[in-house]
A and B are shown apart, each in its own frame.
Chain A
Amino acid sequence: MDRALASFIRALRAAGAEVSTGEAIDAARTVDVIGYADRPVLKASLGLVLAKSTGEKTIHDRVFDQFFQPPAAAAASTSDAGARADAAERLDHGTSGPEDFDPLMALIKGGGGGSGGDRLRSAIARAAAATGVDDIRFPSQIPYYVRQTMEQMGIAPLERRLRDLLLEPSSKTQREAADLATARDSLQRHVRAVVDQRYELFGRPATEDFLADIAVNRQLGRMSSSDQERMKAAVQRMAKRLAIKHSRRRRIAARGKLDLRSTLRANAGHDGVPFDLVFKYKRRDKPRIVAVCDVSSSVSAQAHFLLLFLYALRGTVTDLSTFAFSNALYDIAAPLDTLPFDDAMAFILQEYGSGSTDYGQAFLDLNTRHWDLIDRRTTVLILGDGRSNQNDPRLDLFREMSERAKRVVWLCPEPPGRWGTGDSCMLQYRTFATHVSHCTNAVEIERAIDEALQAYA
């Protein structure tokens, strides 16, 4: 496989598209068949071979354009052909000094367009590759790689000459000095554009991944807004992971139990002689989740993330009911389904989050209006601190609910040490909940929901 393709595939992987070795081989065969000549065809072809979902297609198209586009910025700023010819002419007049940077000068002056531009670009690409620019991780490394690449190309003698000229200024040397300085700046712009492009391809995705990793482990209440943006993508990934894990294998064979009716039907063609035996299957329940989320001001930061999780899970868990309360209980399926997440969030917090907390009232509303949702297949997921403002916690209803439901999982943002202090009813509720966990960050929420879905495996 050629270097360009291998590097392109690395860039794809860095951007988050999963490209297997087999697909890389397919890509190489594709290039053999298609060739590099026709760009749109190559793009379409590699898209077919390397990207296996709509999400990956988007990534592929973006990376393809970034990768196979010559760094445009630099080319544009030096494409003034007249000035170049001028400079070349002047250089012819003032020939003196060590000549060992001449090839480089010629290369720079030829750059900007046509075959000369290609030569310059490939020279820069070679030099940049030699410095290992693809390992770039942070924007602060860009100047370093620019300098390394320029040295690799042999900028040092040119700079020495420039310094000598500047130290003994005269009218004759001034022109040559200006020339050299222009050439040096031009090269620097070109190299900078290349390194910038490599950073966009390889560095930025890695940095983003790194920051997202930090974000999912950060306490939910203490997030900057940029962390929250990152979290959205990370939570989407988590939700997808959970969905894949729990969507598999709904049927298991109950070996030994013959399904007589199906067997007779299957063997009707053989005169009823039972060649094919059909066994009964045990059907597994599909997850049915009723999520009840405290959105009063004290836990709103954590509620934000549970809602984010529910938002992401919505597409994958088919039987999901979502409720929010501070005292009265509201069905929030409509805002989550119709609005983009940020608007839905703002709407829910504003509409339902302003009252004073009353868990008893919320359970009473659940009891009177939505009790039919809760049966032996249901997992009830509750997020809240269990601080009911001295109101009746309605333990009787909670207990009845936990007897009806398959499981009741409570995610509490407060540490266990504070349960039962002040107006907290966590200790009473804990008695009847199947599982109580203390959730402070996104990873813990994922684990708790995984736990909740595990019951259906």
Chain B
Amino acid sequence: MKKTTSTAPSSPLGAIASITEALETVGYISTQAISTAIYLAHHLRKPVLIEGPAGVGKTDLAISAARALNFALLRLQCYEGLDDSKALYEWKYGKQLLYTQILKDKIGHIISKADTLDEAFGKLTNFQDLFFSRDFLEARPLLQAMEQSAGSVLLIDEVDKSDEAFEALLLEVLADYQVTVPEIGTIKAQVPPLVILTSNNTRELGDALKRRCLHLHIGFPDAALENRVVRARVPGISDRLLVQMVAFVQALRHENIRKPPSIAESVDWARTLILMHASVLDETMVRDTLNVLLKRQSDILAVQDRLGELTREAREAPSQAH
């Protein structure tokens, strides 16, 4: 059973390397672990649970994957109190009420020909399902993903923010790619979506959920990877500045701070430096723009004294890199 899932020959999902390439064309620099995760998710039909610090590109992976594979992206942002009516489906009560009003007039007409109560009841039964049919069903992201016929990426963002009850609800969707609506029946996905869940680890996810997923951990990138990511996201940056700023950020992560800067912050900082027409790092510039990298006042204070040294070391980085 080498190839259980039918894959169109042109689709990048056929090989791990081509997934990396496809992601790169939309500006997402992938690693082998990330591409392997996408590859396996498709071939084993399993959701991917991505954990890691904020701003390392977890959500972005889902968005980029959708673009690279030309799939529809369905996004479900989780929060405390999220329930099935927001995630799965909801009945369109207003529409149902409206139709009831319209039908009220018609009902007299329909049952007027019935002689007995039983007969009238029988006639009405034929119409009962009308109100609980697909026409009155408002599909929410999970159900929408099941209904896509051309493949889709379902992003369940920050699943750790949701309640445990919602986690349980996800189990059916993720294990069998189906949604059960009691009034209608079970709706099975035409094409299993590529499901990506992200978590910032604000709470430990349930074992049942974890066991059903592939578990991908994305950490802070090393210097080489970060160079490529910033280069892809900020094409206008000069080589010299790029190497220096990445060296600075890498060193900053090793300082004793609460919230180390993430790759998203690096990209923001690169943009900031370009806006300020910097060609090399210098200490005053770093000091002025530090709030782009560090979002906590206590962290900024903690590294205040070390900035001169860190900048100097970062400026010496190019000679080591080549």
A residues sitting closer than 8 Å to B (CB atoms) are 20, 22-23, 26, 29-30, 32-34, 40-41, 44-45, 47-49, 51-54, 57, 244, 247-249, 269-271, 273, 275-276
Contacts and interface: CB of A to CB of B under 8 A. Distances in A.
B16 interface: yes
B2 A248 contact: no
Nearest to B212: A22
23 contacts: A22-B211, A23-B211, A29-B44, A32-B2, A33-B40, A33-B43, A41-B32, A41-B36, A44-B33, A45-B36, A48-B36, A48-B216, A52-B49, A52-B210, A52-B211, A52-B215, A244-B204, A247-B203, A247-B204, A269-B93, A270-B93, A273-B93, A273-B97
B1 interface: yes
Interface string B1-17: 11010000000000010
A48 B34 CA distance: 10
B243 interface: no
B37 interface: yes
A280 to B, nearest CB: 14
A59 to B, nearest CB: 13
Given A33-B2, A41-B16, A44-B36, A49 B214 contact: yes
A57 B37 CA distance: 14
B176 interface: no
A53 B211 CA distance: 11
B94 interface: yes
Contact of A57 (B4, B85, B214, B217): B217
A276 B83 CA distance: 12
Q: Which 8 A-B pairs have the closest CB atoms?
A: A48-B214, A270-B93, A52-B210, A52-B215, A44-B36, A33-B43, A44-B33, A48-B37
Contacts of A269: 93-94
Interface of B: 1-2, 4, 16, 32-33, 36-37, 40, 43-44, 46, 48-49, 51, 85, 93-94, 97, 164, 203-204, 210-217
A317 B24 CA distance: 42
A40 B32 contact: yes
A26 B217 contact: no
A177 B231 CA distance: 67
B217 A54 contact: yes
The interface centre, meaning the residue of B1, B4, B215 with most chain A CB atoms within 10 A of its CB, is B215
B164 A248 contact: yes
A33 B16 CA distance: 11
The interface centre, meaning the residue of B1, B49, B210, B217 with most chain A CB atoms within 10 A of its CB, is B217
Contacts of B43: 33
B94 A48 contact: no
A271 B97 contact: yes
Nearest to A40: B32
B7 to A, nearest CB: 11
Contacts of A29: 44
Contacts of A44: 32-33, 36
A314 B4 CA distance: 47
A217 B213 CA distance: 37
A51 B1 CA distance: 24
A57 B51 CA distance: 12
A239 to B, nearest CB: 13
A26 B48 CA distance: 13
Contacts of B211: 20, 22-23, 52
A48 B218 CA distance: 11
A270 B215 contact: no
A45 B40 contact: yes
A273 B32 CA distance: 54
A52 B216 CA distance: 8
A109 to B, nearest CB: 38
Contacts of B94: 269-271
Contact of A33 (B44, B49, B204, B215): B44
A406 B85 CA distance: 39
A20 B211 CA distance: 8
Contacts of B164: 248-249
The interface centre, meaning the residue of B4, B40, B94, B164 with most chain A CB atoms within 10 A of its CB, is B40
Contacts of B49: 52
A32 B1 contact: yes
A23 to B, nearest CB: 6
A48 B37 CA distance: 7
Contacts of A23: 211
Contacts of B32: 40-41, 44
A276 B216 CA distance: 38
B215 A48 contact: yes
The interface centre, meaning the residue of A26, A247, A248 with most chain B CB atoms within 10 A of its CB, is A26
B201 to A, nearest CB: 9
Nearest to A57: B217
B46 to A, nearest CB: 7
Nearest to B206: A248
A49 B40 contact: yes
A30 B97 contact: no
A8 B215 CA distance: 19
A33 B51 CA distance: 24
A315 to B, nearest CB: 11
A139 B72 CA distance: 57
A61 to B, nearest CB: 11
Contacts of A49: 40, 44, 214
Given A41-B36, A273-B97, 15 more contacts: A22-B212, A40-B32, A41-B16, A44-B36, A48-B215, A49-B44, A52-B49, A52-B210, A52-B211, A53-B215, A248-B164, A269-B94, A270-B94, A273-B93, A275-B93
